Chain A
Amino acid sequence: MKAIAAAALAFAALIAVALLAPQWLVFMSMLVLAKGAVVLGLVVLMRTGLVSFGQGLYFGIGAYAAALLSHHLRIADAAAMLLAGAVAAGVVAALLGLLLANYREIFFAMLSLAFSMILYGLLVKSAALGSTDGLHLQARTLFGIALASGTERRIFLIAGAICVVIAALAVHRLLGGHWGRLATAVRDNELRVAYLGASPFRVVYVNYLIAGALAGLGGALVALAVGHVDPDTAYWTTSGEFVFIAILGGTQSIAAPFVAAAIFEALRTVASQYAPNVWQMSLGLGMLAIIMFLPAGLWSLARRRSAA
């Protein structure tokens, strides 16, 4: 119940932003929502003890799926783009997951990195996909209803908010129940889980699928917000950014990825304004500080306070 109340509150806040806030804040909120969704997927995966350094793969697939829809099929519907992003990424995750769910630890991280770099290599060199310039995209309708110019982004934010809030609630339910405990058990001791009769492969596979689809949704949302996609969406530094946000927030709560993404984007905006040359350095220092002093992420601060 508490989760539904929190989700309703977050949703109401997003609607308020979409209707009332200035354009730049609408844009930022879309980025936060999108990255939060990707990181939420990563958190689901981290519950099984696996960290993917290749979520850029699904982020890129989602973004390009949306762009290709507009560019080659001339479909300019935002809902179709969001759906296409999530589905395309989900399908690829379903295939690669069959392979990757057998890997653990650093090998899982490296193999997922390799796949994201394969996509990057393809995107950079493929003229049909716009090579390094990327592709433009434009969405003019939502569910077939034409949007007044100037309000598109506001409407996209509402559409994105609906998708992401529903997804987050679903993930919350999933992780709060039987499945979430199974995932933690797989992280703690896979062999015992297998002895007890559950399949660690299945847990990892399904969680990988969820992570992929969420990253695809996030990618499509960013594509809608920016109106342009380029190969950097699949580059390893993008994947590294997602891992960073996940560490920043911690894996204990469904809200943590979104809070962390908001902090991250806000800091980035401020830093690029006032200190563009030391942005990466502050990022690195922040990361070290969190790993050393708050290994469970910023969320553990909130929890500590409520316990006290």
Chain B
Amino acid sequence: MNNILSVAFDGIVYASWLFLMSAGLTLIYGVMRILNVAHGSLYALGAYAACSLAGAWLTAGLPAAGSFAMLLAAAILVGCVFGPLLERGLLQWMYGKDEVVLVLITYAVFLIMEDVIKLVWGVDSMLLPEPYALPGNFMLGGLAYPVYNLIIIAIALVTGLALAFALHATRRGKLLLAVIHDREISMAMGIDIGRVYLATFALGATLAALGGAFTAPTVAVTPGIGVEVIVLAFAVVVIGGLGSLSGAAIGALLVGLVRSATVRYWPEAELFSIYAVMAIVLIARPKGLFAAQEARKI
């Protein structure tokens, strides 16, 4: 019983983290039809910025609880600077190209950012253990867990609910959904696509950086941390159906639970299991679990 409980809890923690990563990715794909490889670099940037900001905060001797605000600030900073920078500076000239070419373009951005990060922050790993240790532990089924895990879950829940609310209950959100549904008709109806794109990309970038910022305290932040994350987030998004927010949530939960179960019972198969799930889902439902039906164009 305890085993199952701990597997489920670990799975949900991992799923929350995955959801933060993949929500931005699926949103950007849904609106802009870009499968953004640079999402991984924004994640890494978020982690590095969090280390610098929260580190500076702590060395200044300010109250340690404030470091959480710094993590959040780092994510918003990265998202609002690099999101618009990438979209206005580069991607806006690329719209209309083939989806696969757009993947390559963002892959190029990813490569560039990898080295930029190395140039700015150096190649040594950075540590930020304080926010992780600060909230202490709690007991679950006889095992001690860091409270920080609960914070991750809370952030994912709040983000997911806020996004769902914003998309379905606000005017701007509905405009966004309209663009996801049919770009051309939306344009014809007078929606300013350029602004929607800019806002979406900035939002997606912020979400990626948020994932990175709140991961930073749990790991050693080293060059290349974005490399693995991006393919994982791809897997989640493709499982859920490209462009679907609820799909990303279900995909994250599925991958999270499968991973924690394999880590527990068959640790050798950890990486294997995630991509096996992706392959099986794609075989059964070629466009993912929640992909919208598209009209066939000849």
CB <8 Å contact, B115 and A117: no
Render A225-258 as a binary contact track against B, CB cut-off 8 A, 1 for contact: 0000000000011001001100100000000000
User: Considering the chains assembled together, what is the distance between the CA atoms of A99 and B274 in angstroms?
Assistant: 19
Asked if A264 lies at the interface with its beta carbon under 8 angstroms from chain B, I say: no
CB <8 Å contact, B112 and A285: yes
A110-B238, A113-B234 are contacts. A240–B115 as well, Cβ < 8 Å?
A: no
Render B227-248 as a binary contact track against A, CB cut-off 8 A, 1 for contact: 1000100110010001000000
Asked if A91 lies at the interface with its beta carbon under 8 angstroms from chain B, I say: no
Asked if B275 lies at the interface with its beta carbon under 8 angstroms from chain A, I say: yes
- State the Cβ distance, B146 to closest chain A Cβ, in Å: 27
CB <8 Å contact, B99 and A288: no
**Across-interface contacts of B110 in A (CB, < 8 A):** 284
**Across-interface contacts of A114 in B (CB, < 8 A):** 235, 238, 275, 278-279, 282
Name the interface residues of B168-223: CB closer than 8 Å to any CB of A: none
Query: Given B100, B108, B227, which contacts A106 in the complex, CB threshold below 8 Å?
Result: B100
A121-B271, A236-B231, A287-B104 are contacts. A107–B111 as well, Cβ < 8 Å?
A: no
- State the Cβ distance, B184 to closest chain A Cβ, in Å: 19
Nearest-neighbor residue (CB-CB) of B298 within chain A: A191
CB <8 Å contact, A125 and B282: no
Asked if A109 lies at the interface with its beta carbon under 8 angstroms from chain B, I say: yes
**Across-interface contacts of A99 in B (CB, < 8 A):** 283
Asked if A118 lies at the interface with its beta carbon under 8 angstroms from chain B, I say: yes
CB <8 Å contact, B282 and A110: yes
CB <8 Å contact, B111 and A106: no
CB <8 Å contact, A107 and B115: no
Asked if B119 lies at the interface with its beta carbon under 8 angstroms from chain A, I say: yes
Asked if A162 lies at the interface with its beta carbon under 8 angstroms from chain B, I say: no
A121-B272, A126-B268, A278-B115 are contacts. A105–B104 as well, Cβ < 8 Å?
A: no
Asked if A102 lies at the interface with its beta carbon under 8 angstroms from chain B, I say: yes
CB <8 Å contact, B104 and A117: no
Asked if A273 lies at the interface with its beta carbon under 8 angstroms from chain B, I say: no
**Across-interface contacts of A291 in B (CB, < 8 A):** 97, 101, 104-105, 108
Asked if B135 lies at the interface with its beta carbon under 8 angstroms from chain A, I say: no
**Across-interface contacts of A151 in B (CB, < 8 A):** none
User: Considering the chains assembled together, what is the distance between the CA atoms of A122 and B273 in angstroms?
Assistant: 10
Asked if B276 lies at the interface with its beta carbon under 8 angstroms from chain A, I say: yes
Total contacting residues, chain A, CB less than 8 A: 41
Query: Given B93, B100, B271, which contacts A51 in the complex, CB threshold below 8 Å?
Result: B100
CB <8 Å contact, B99 and A106: yes
**Across-interface contacts of B105 in A (CB, < 8 A):** 287-288, 291
User: Considering the chains assembled together, what is the distance between the CA atoms of A105 and B282 in angstroms?
Assistant: 14
**Across-interface contacts of A279 in B (CB, < 8 A):** 115
Asked if A124 lies at the interface with its beta carbon under 8 angstroms from chain B, I say: yes
**Across-interface contacts of B242 in A (CB, < 8 A):** 106
CB <8 Å contact, B99 and A105: yes
- Majority secondary structure, A binding face: helix
CB <8 Å contact, A109 and B100: yes
Total contacting residues, chain B, CB less than 8 A: 43
**Across-interface contacts of A106 in B (CB, < 8 A):** 35, 99-100, 103, 242
Nearest-neighbor residue (CB-CB) of B90 within chain A: A288
CB <8 Å contact, B282 and A280: no
Asked if A201 lies at the interface with its beta carbon under 8 angstroms from chain B, I say: no
Name the interface residues of B270-295: CB closer than 8 Å to any CB of A: 270-276, 278-279, 282-283, 286-287
User: Considering the chains assembled together, what is the distance between the CA atoms of A285 and B298 in angstroms?
Assistant: 36
CB <8 Å contact, B112 and A280: yes
CB <8 Å contact, A105 and B100: yes
Asked if A283 lies at the interface with its beta carbon under 8 angstroms from chain B, I say: yes
User: Considering the chains assembled together, what is the distance between the CA atoms of A237 and B110 in angstroms?
Assistant: 11
Query: Given B99, B119, B231, which contacts A277 in the complex, CB threshold below 8 Å?
Result: B119
| Most chain A CB atoms below 10 A, which of B35, B97, B271 | B271
- State the Cβ distance, A279 to closest chain B Cβ, in Å: 7
CB <8 Å contact, A117 and B231: yes
CB <8 Å contact, B104 and A247: yes
Asked if A1 lies at the interface with its beta carbon under 8 angstroms from chain B, I say: no
CB <8 Å contact, A121 and B270: yes
- State the Cβ distance, B151 to closest chain A Cβ, in Å: 29
Can you list 18 contacts pairing A with B, beta carbon distance less than 8 Å?
A105-B100, A110-B234, A114-B238, A114-B282, A121-B274, A125-B268, A236-B231, A243-B104, A243-B107, A244-B104, A280-B111, A280-B112, A281-B114, A284-B115, A285-B112, A291-B97, A291-B105, A291-B108
A114-B282, A281-B114 are known; give 17 further A-B pairs, CB within 8 A.
A106-B99, A106-B100, A111-B279, A121-B270, A121-B271, A121-B273, A280-B112, A281-B111, A281-B115, A283-B108, A284-B109, A284-B112, A284-B115, A287-B104, A288-B105, A291-B101, A291-B104
Q: Sorted from nearest, which 9 A-B pairs have the closest CB atoms?
A: A121-B271, A284-B111, A281-B115, A284-B112, A121-B272, A287-B108, A284-B108, A125-B268, A117-B275
Which residues of chain A have a CB within 8 Å of any CB of chain B? Answer: 51, 53, 99, 102-103, 105-107, 109-111, 113-115, 117-118, 120-122, 124-126, 191, 236-237, 240, 243-244, 247, 277-281, 283-285, 287-288, 291-292
Which residues of chain B have a CB within 8 Å of any CB of chain A? Answer: 35, 90, 93, 97, 99-101, 103-105, 107-112, 114-116, 118-119, 227, 231, 234-235, 238, 242, 268-276, 278-279, 282-283, 286-287, 298
